[in-house]
């Protein structure tokens, strides 16, 4: 199913995108607190990992990049970043609430950014 | 009275004794002669026990002569007249299995117990709801750890109290044609959706003759195939069971079947589980069969992101025949739930699994993504896959179940493979996914497991061994508030089940209030101007906002969307379709600057001055004046208050002397030192009695006068209440009430959900581009500011 849906006749439930669950994988959302996330990543880089991955999807793409820049600024040049962009397909389930409307799935492509942050010297 | 008469009224004691000396001596000879123990009657204590010195007295001497010193045994035997009562049976005897089973049945008569009742009763406060004993509140945890578990790992709730109907017919259209009368288009899904039977979906049921007012309750339905028959599985709330059954009987023209299953008759009557397998069956005119499977299936709901992982750890698939097509499908489904990909809400899968006791851990462990268990091939390959809703399959699985005692005895001998060989039965289970999708708070997301109730305790214990935190009704209520959805039937006003629940809560609160001393009761009306502190009275409120008929909740999806568009300012014109003024609109309120709304809080309309003062300082508290009525004159109010205060103080110390004073200062009263130290006073016995009697008399008199005063005051209050109306009873115009509210961890602020009459929406003002209302709790005098938005989430079970 493609195109717009009628909110009066259909209800939509957005499935969350697939994630890799690991301690050094960070997914930035619109509600993510940047200050807290920066602290957490810094702590991880100092104690446990040499590299962390920051992912941003759709509207939170900007926010993910801001986070990366902030981390680099605070690291005094010891933190390197490799950036990769991609397109992620997300699925929405559409339920019809009347006999006229259709039910089904809707696939949406969303731009994504994946940043690998690692300790190194330029 | 003359002197002579006065003398005649008294008898002189000397003369009286002198005249009767002979009679007294004769009497004394009878009771105090040589034959008797000297001075037994006249001087010494009478009973044998009293004759013993204190140090020789023993407990229960008057019951058992053996307690006396040996030399007095023979005398004591004749003295003890009371027959020695039989000793009650020992604790060992009392706690024999049969006795305990009988006691268990006796207790179960009052209200039905869940299979996990005993486990819960040790850890939770239990309560009776909808004919079941349910866990109300944990003794160990508050909601917060449950909330954390639902965010990070997994928690579990026993929802086995939900009822289930299986409606069967060879033709799907025959069922659909009639049962669609129970659903309402535009307010949610219909039974005709999802005919293929891939998902279990939520639906709202209505009385066919009273649409759209006659809301019955929410349900969940799914279509399955049982051989050649189509089967509609309908899960409902127990509060709506009678009503829905009544409608099903009317729709399908059903008649009850009296015959029992043959397997049930053959089984041992002592076994509780098998006894319950008597299914109530109904047959209809068009070949439709309805089975009431209440209490035969257990349903566990898991909340949290690791629900499916935990299910995979707890259950192990039986070894299936790889060549069979249905086995392949089962394996595919099992792999599907093991993947990290999110599944569609309501996707359900049926699996035949091994006995869960085989996979139980010795130590509790959280399920983690990397810790996979070794799969052991205990059981022979299976060809026939049992169905959960097929009675024959289900009863066969129950019959094969190894009892816990024999399972444990085998395990004790470390013959684990023997146990595995014996436990060759397969349990039919159903796994259902639940998801609200992104963008909403996911406190209710997770999965559900349905299994025969005979295996419920084993499954429950297995989940406990996998560190699933058990939660209760209170947690369920809080989780619903976190996800801003109404809990059925506690929060739903326009249905019979909801009305009954509202009445129960009101009665409970009123009883608790009346149990308090008179001066410790909250003066809801005189102090806070709350006319209905324990009820909502939606019909009255809607009437005062222009409703002509009884109120009902607006659930029409398109109307709610249109209303939302107008309310937030996307559309200028009020939706014309919504002419019915008797509807209640579901709303969500979020506190702007402090304050926590609670159940029964009032929602009021702020005036311009309020908004100005909030503009200066959002934490401004607007106070409800003490007089209770609309604001008149502040100066007058203050003066009145002073007079009232002084009067109340006087009353408090004169006519209300039996009540405990809450006044920290009180009027100055001289207290004598002697009165402060009563032990120092030497009061004679007779004087004490007199004083006590006088006190009692005074108290009785006071009670009488106070009762009159209180009745008069109550009558006056009632008159005032009627005069004030509902909408204008408080300082600000009341436009709605909160049905559930608290501090939410998701939003870190006070949040509430409630209803407004549709007529009041137009007068709700905007403040910084948001619609705002004032919120005041029933026992608070301060109004606080909150934003208001229209809720579109539908009620689910």
Quick: pLDDT tens for B498-548: 999 999 999 999 999 999 988 899 999 999 999 999 999 999 999 999 888
Which residues of chain B make contact with A14, given a CB cutoff of 8 A? Answer: 437-439
The sign one gets for the Cα dihedral B36, B38, B43, B44 is: negative
Q: Which residue has the higher pLDDT, B349 or B195?
A: B349
Minimum distance, in Å, between the CA of residue B625 and any CA atom of chain A: 41
Cross-chain residue pair A14–B438, CB shorter than 8 Å? yes
Indicate if the pLDDT at residue B382 is higher than 70: no
Residue B213: the pLDDT is: 87
Q: Does A29 touch chain B (CB under 8 A)?
A: no
Inter-axis angle of helices A61-74 and A34-47, nearest 10:
50
Q: Which of A27, A37, A31 is nearest to A88 (CA)?
A: A27
Residue B160: the pLDDT is: 96
Q: Which of B633, B567, B560 is nearest to B770 (CA)?
A: B567
In terms of domains, do B448 and B314 share one?
yes
Cross-chain residue pair B186–A98, CB shorter than 8 Å? yes
Indicate if the pLDDT at residue B61 is higher than 60: yes
List the single residue in A8, A13, A92 with the smallest CB-CB distance to B558: A8
- Domain membership of residue B695 (yes or no) is yes
Cross-chain residue pair B188–A97, CB shorter than 8 Å? yes
- Domain membership of residue B129 (yes or no) is yes
Give the number of A-B residue pairs with CB atoms closer than 8 Å: 51
Cross-chain residue pair A93–B345, CB shorter than 8 Å? yes
Which residues of chain A make contact with B185, given a CB cutoff of 8 A? Answer: 98-99
Residue B320: the pLDDT is: 80
DSSP B194: T
- Domain membership of residue B25 (yes or no) is no
Cross-chain residue pair A15–B437, CB shorter than 8 Å? yes
Task: Select from B438, B578, B746 the residue whose CB has the most chain A CBs within 10 Å, as the one to mutate to test that interface.
Answer: B438
Contacts of B626 (CB under 8 A, 6+ apart): B527, B637, B641, B644, B781
What distance in Å separates the CA atoms of residue B755 and residue B600, rounded to the nearest whole number?
Answer: 11
Residue B264: the pLDDT is: 45
Q: Find the helix or strand (DSSP H, E) in which A96 lies.
A: strand A79-96
Indicate if the pLDDT at residue B34 is higher than 80: no
Neighbours of B644 (CB within 10 A): 13
List the single residue in B185, B188, B436 with the smallest CB-CB distance to A13: B436
In terms of domains, do B471 and B593 share one?
no
Domain boundary among B294, B313, B336: B294
Domain boundary among B483, B510, B535: B483
In terms of domains, do B116 and B137 share one?
yes
List the single residue in A12, A18, A92 with the smallest CB-CB distance to B341: A18
The residue length of chain B stands at: 797
What distance in Å separates the CA atoms of residue B339 and residue B52, rounded to the nearest whole number?
Answer: 85
Task: Select from B367, B555, B558 the residue whose CB has the most chain A CBs within 10 Å, as the one to mutate to test that interface.
Answer: B558
Residue B127: the pLDDT is: 95
- Contact (CB, 8 A) for B758 and B581: yes
Minimum mean pLDDT range among B189-198, B459-468, B783-792: B189-198
Mean pLDDT of B377-384: 45
DSSP B126: E
In terms of domains, do B594 and B658 share one?
no
pLDDT tier at B384 (50, 70, 90 boundaries)? low
Minimum distance, in Å, between the CA of residue B188 and any CA atom of chain A: 5
Q: Does A58 touch chain B (CB under 8 A)?
A: no
Residue B624: the pLDDT is: 79
Indicate if the pLDDT at residue B780 is higher than 50: yes
Indicate if the pLDDT at residue B790 is higher than 90: yes
Q: Does A99 touch chain B (CB under 8 A)?
A: yes
Which residues of chain B make contact with A21, given a CB cutoff of 8 A? Answer: 340, 369
Inter-axis angle of helices B456-465 and B307-314, nearest 10:
110
In terms of domains, do B355 and B477 share one?
yes
Instruction: Kindly give the parts of chain A with pLDDT less than 50.
Output: none
Residue whose pair of structure tokens reads 């009620």 in the numeric block: B795
Q: Which of B117, B414, B421 is nearest to B272 (CA)?
A: B117
pLDDT above 70 covers what percent of chain B?
A: 80
- Domain membership of residue B368 (yes or no) is yes
Minimum distance, in Å, between the CA of residue A78 and any CA atom of chain B: 32
Q: Which of A63, A61, A81, A85 is nearest to A73 (CA)?
A: A81
Domain boundary among B699, B720, B741: B720
In terms of domains, do B155 and B170 share one?
no
What distance in Å separates the CA atoms of residue A92 and residue B222, rounded to the nearest whole number?
Answer: 21
Q: Which residue has the higher pLDDT, B248 or B655?
A: B248
pLDDT tier at B457 (50, 70, 90 boundaries)? very high
Provide φ and ψ at B105, rounded to 5°.
Answer: -65, -40
Residue B37: the pLDDT is: 61
Q: Find the helix or strand (DSSP H, E) in which B232 lies.
A: strand B229-236
Minimum mean pLDDT range among A35-49, B535-549, B566-580, B675-689: B675-689
Q: Give the domain extent around B624.
A: 496-630+728-790
Cα–Cα–Cα angle for B178, B184, B188, rounded to 5 degrees:
120
Cross-chain residue pair B437–A8, CB shorter than 8 Å? no
Minimum distance, in Å, between the CA of residue B369 and any CA atom of chain A: 8
Indicate if the pLDDT at residue B217 is higher than 60: yes
Task: Select from B557, B562, B577 the residue whose CB has the most chain A CBs within 10 Å, as the one to mutate to test that interface.
Answer: B557
Residue B263: the pLDDT is: 47
In terms of domains, do B289 and B304 share one?
no
| The pairing of beta strand B229-236 with beta strand B215-226 | antiparallel
- Interface of B to A at Cβ within 8 Å reads 185-190, 192-193, 201, 340-342, 344-345, 369, 435-439, 557-558, 561-562
Cross-chain residue pair B340–A99, CB shorter than 8 Å? no
- Contact (CB, 8 A) for B742 and B546: no
Residue B669: the pLDDT is: 67
Question: Closest-CA residue in chain A for B199?
Answer: A95
In terms of domains, do B135 and B217 share one?
no
Indicate if the pLDDT at residue B212 is higher than 90: no
pLDDT tier at B424 (50, 70, 90 boundaries)? low
Mean pLDDT of B774-779: 95
| The pairing of beta strand B132-138 with beta strand B112-113 | parallel
Question: Closest-CA residue in chain A for B558?
Answer: A8
Indicate if the pLDDT at residue B435 is higher than 60: yes
Minimum distance, in Å, between the CA of residue A25 and any CA atom of chain B: 15
- Domain membership of residue B302 (yes or no) is yes
Minimum distance, in Å, between the CA of residue A98 and any CA atom of chain B: 6
Residue B265: the pLDDT is: 42
Inter-axis angle of helices B473-482 and B143-152, nearest 10:
60
B549: three-class secondary structure by DSSP: coil
What distance in Å separates the CA atoms of residue B268 and residue B272, rounded to the nearest whole number?
Answer: 9
Terminal alpha carbon distance of chain A: 48
At B691-707, the pLDDT tens digits run 899 999 999 998 888 88
At B709-738, the pLDDT tens digits run 888 988 999 999 999 999 999 989 999 999
Q: What's the predicted TM-score (pTM) here?
A: 0.77
Which residues of chain A make contact with B437, given a CB cutoff of 8 A? Answer: 12-16, 92-93
Residue B269: the pLDDT is: 43
Average pLDDT, chain B: 82
In terms of domains, do B428 and B286 share one?
no
Q: What's the CATH code of the domain at B456?
A: 3.30.1360.120
Q: How many domains does chain B have?
A: 4
- Domain membership of residue B596 (yes or no) is yes
In terms of domains, do B457 and B551 share one?
no
In terms of domains, do B472 and B502 share one?
no
At B608-667, the pLDDT tens digits run 999 999 888 888 888 877 654 444 444 444 444 444 444 444 444 444 445 555 666 565
Q: Which residue has the higher pLDDT, B83 or B47?
A: B47
In terms of domains, do B273 and B332 share one?
no
Minimum mean pLDDT range among B69-83, B319-333, B448-462, B756-770: B69-83
- Domain membership of residue B46 (yes or no) is no
pLDDT tier at B211 (50, 70, 90 boundaries)? confident
- Domain membership of residue B518 (yes or no) is yes
All structural domains of chain A, each given as residue ranges with its CATH number in brackets, are 23-86+111-122 (3.30.110.20)
Residue B440: the pLDDT is: 60
Indicate if the pLDDT at residue B409 is higher than 90: no
Indicate if the pLDDT at residue B413 is higher than 80: no
Indicate if the pLDDT at residue B467 is higher than 50: yes
Task: Select from A13, A21, A25, A29 the residue whose CB has the most chain B CBs within 10 Å, as the one to mutate to test that interface.
Answer: A13
Residue B378: the pLDDT is: 36
Minimum distance, in Å, between the CA of residue B345 and any CA atom of chain A: 8
What distance in Å separates the CA atoms of residue B538 and residue B734, rounded to the nearest whole number?
Answer: 12
Q: What's the CATH code of the domain at B201?
A: 3.30.70
Residue B741: the pLDDT is: 97
Q: What's the CATH code of the domain at B565?
A: 2.40.30.110
Indicate if the pLDDT at residue B1 is higher than 60: no
List the single residue in B189, B193, B437 with the smallest CB-CB distance to A14: B437
Cross-chain residue pair B342–A16, CB shorter than 8 Å? yes
pLDDT tier at B307 (50, 70, 90 boundaries)? very high
Residue A25: the pLDDT is: 94
Q: Which residue has the higher pLDDT, B775 or A76?
A: B775
């Amino acid at each position: 199913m493609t195109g717009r849906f009628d909110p009066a006749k259909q209800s939509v439930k957005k499935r969350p995108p697939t994630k890799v669950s690991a301690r050094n994988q960070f997914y930035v959302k619109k509600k993510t607190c940047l200050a807290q996330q920066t602290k957490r990543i810094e702590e991880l880089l100092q104690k446990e990992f040499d590299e962390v991955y920051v992912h941003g999807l759709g509207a939170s793409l900007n926010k993910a990049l801001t986070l990366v820049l902030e981390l680099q600024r605070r690291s005094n040049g010891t933190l390197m970043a490799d950036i990769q962009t991609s397109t992620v397909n997300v699925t929405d389930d559409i339920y019809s609430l009347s006999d006229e409307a259709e039910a089904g799935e809707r696939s949406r492509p969303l731009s994504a950014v994946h940043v690998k942050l690692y300790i190194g010297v330029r | 009275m003359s002197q002579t008469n006065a003398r005649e009224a008294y008898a002189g004691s000397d003369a009286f004794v002198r005249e009767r000396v002979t009679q007294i001596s004769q009497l004394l000879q009878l009771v105090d002669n040589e034959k008797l123990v000297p001075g037994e009657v006249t001087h010494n204590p009478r009973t044998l026990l009293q004759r013993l010195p204190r140090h020789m007295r023993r407990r229960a001497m008057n019951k058992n002569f053996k307690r006396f010193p040996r030399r007095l045994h023979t005398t004591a035997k004749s003295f003890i007249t009371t027959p020695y009562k039989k000793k009650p049976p020992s604790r060992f005897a009392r706690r024999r299995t049969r006795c305990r089973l009988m006691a268990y049945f006796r207790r179960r008569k009052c209200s039905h117990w869940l299979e996990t009742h005993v486990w819960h009763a040790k850890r939770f406060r239990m309560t009776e709801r909808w004919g079941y004993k349910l866990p109300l509140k944990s003794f160990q945890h508050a909601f917060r750890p449950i909330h954390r578990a639902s965010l990070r790992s997994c928690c579990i709730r026993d929802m086995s109290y939900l009822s289930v109907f299986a409606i069967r017919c060879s033709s799907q259209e025959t069922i659909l044609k009639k049962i669609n009368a129970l659903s309402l288009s535009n307010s949610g899904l219909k039974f005709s959706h999802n005919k293929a039977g891939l998902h279990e979906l939520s639906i709202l049921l209505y009385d066919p003759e009273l649409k759209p007012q006659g809301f019955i309750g929410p349900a969940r339905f799914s279509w399955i195939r049982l051989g050649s028959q189509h089967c509609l599985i309908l899960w409902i709330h127990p509060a709506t069971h009678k009503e829905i059954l009544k409608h099903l009987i009317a729709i399908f023209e059903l008649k009850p079947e009296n015959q029992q299953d043959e397997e049930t008759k053959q089984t041992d009557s002592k076994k509780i589980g098998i006894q319950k397998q008597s299914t109530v069956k109904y047959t209809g005119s068009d070949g439709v069969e309805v089975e009431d499977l209440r209490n035969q299936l257990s349903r566990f709901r898991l909340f949290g992101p690791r629900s499916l992982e935990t299910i995979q750890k707890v259950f192990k698939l039986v070894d299936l025949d790889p060549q069979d097509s249905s086995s392949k499908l089962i394996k595919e489904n099992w792999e599907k739930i093991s993947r990290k990909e999110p599944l569609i809400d309501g996707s359900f899968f049926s699996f035949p699994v091994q006995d869960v006791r085989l996979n139980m851990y010795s130590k509790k462990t959280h399920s983690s993504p990397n810790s996979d268990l070794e799969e052991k091939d205990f059981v022979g390959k299976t060809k026939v896959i049992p169905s959960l809703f097929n009675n024959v399959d289900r009863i066969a699985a129950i019959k094969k179940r190894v009892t816990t005692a024999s399972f444990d005895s085998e395990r004790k001998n470390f013959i684990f493979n023997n146990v595995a060989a014996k436990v060759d039965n397969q349990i039919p289970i159903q796994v259902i996914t639940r998801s609200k999708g992104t963008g909403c708070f996911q406190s209710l997301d997770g999965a559900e497991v349905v299994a025969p109730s005979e295996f419920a305790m084993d499954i429950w214990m297995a989940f406990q061994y996998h560190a699933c935190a058990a939660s209760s009704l209170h947690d369920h209520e809080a989780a619903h508030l976190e996800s801003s959805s109404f809990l059925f039937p506690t929060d739903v006003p326009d249905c019979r089940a909801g009305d009954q629940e509202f009445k129960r809560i009101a009665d409970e609160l009123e009883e608790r209030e009346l149990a308090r001393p008179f001066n410790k009761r909250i003066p809801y009306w005189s102090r806070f101007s709350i006319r209905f502190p324990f009820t909502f009275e939606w019909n009255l409120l809607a009437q005062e906002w222009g409703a002509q008929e009884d109120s009902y909740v607006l659930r029409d999806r398109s109307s709610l969307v249109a209303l939302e568009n107008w309310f937030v300012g996307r559309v200028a014109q009020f939706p014309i379709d919504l002419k019915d003024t008797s509807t209640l609109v579901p709303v969500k309120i979020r506190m702007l600057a402090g304050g926590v709304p609670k159940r029964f809080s009032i929602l009021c309309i702020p005036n311009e001055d309020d908004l100005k003062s909030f503009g200066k300082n959002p934490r401004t508290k607007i106070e409800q004046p003490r007089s209770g009525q609309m604001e008149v004159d502040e100066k007058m109010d203050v003066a009145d208050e002073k007079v009232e205060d002084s009067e109340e103080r006087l009353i408090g110390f004169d006519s209300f002397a039996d009540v405990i004073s809450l006044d920290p200062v009180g009027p100055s009263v001289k207290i004598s030192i002697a009165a402060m130290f009563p032990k120092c006073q030497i009061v004679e016995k007779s004087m004490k009695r007199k004083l006590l009697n006088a006190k009692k008399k005074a108290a009785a008199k006071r009670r009488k006068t106070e009762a009159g005063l209180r009745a008069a005051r109550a009558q006056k209050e009632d008159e005032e209440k009627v005069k004030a109306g509902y909408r204008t009873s408080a300082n600000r115009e009341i436009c709605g009430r909160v049905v559930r509210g608290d501090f939410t961890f998701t939003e870190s602020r006070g949040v509430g959900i409630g209803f407004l009459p549709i007529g009041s929406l137009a007068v709700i003002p905007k403040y910084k581009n948001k619609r705002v209302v004032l919120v005041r709790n029933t026992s608070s005098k301060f109004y606080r500011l909150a934003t208001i938005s229209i809720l579109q989430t539908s009620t689910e079970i």
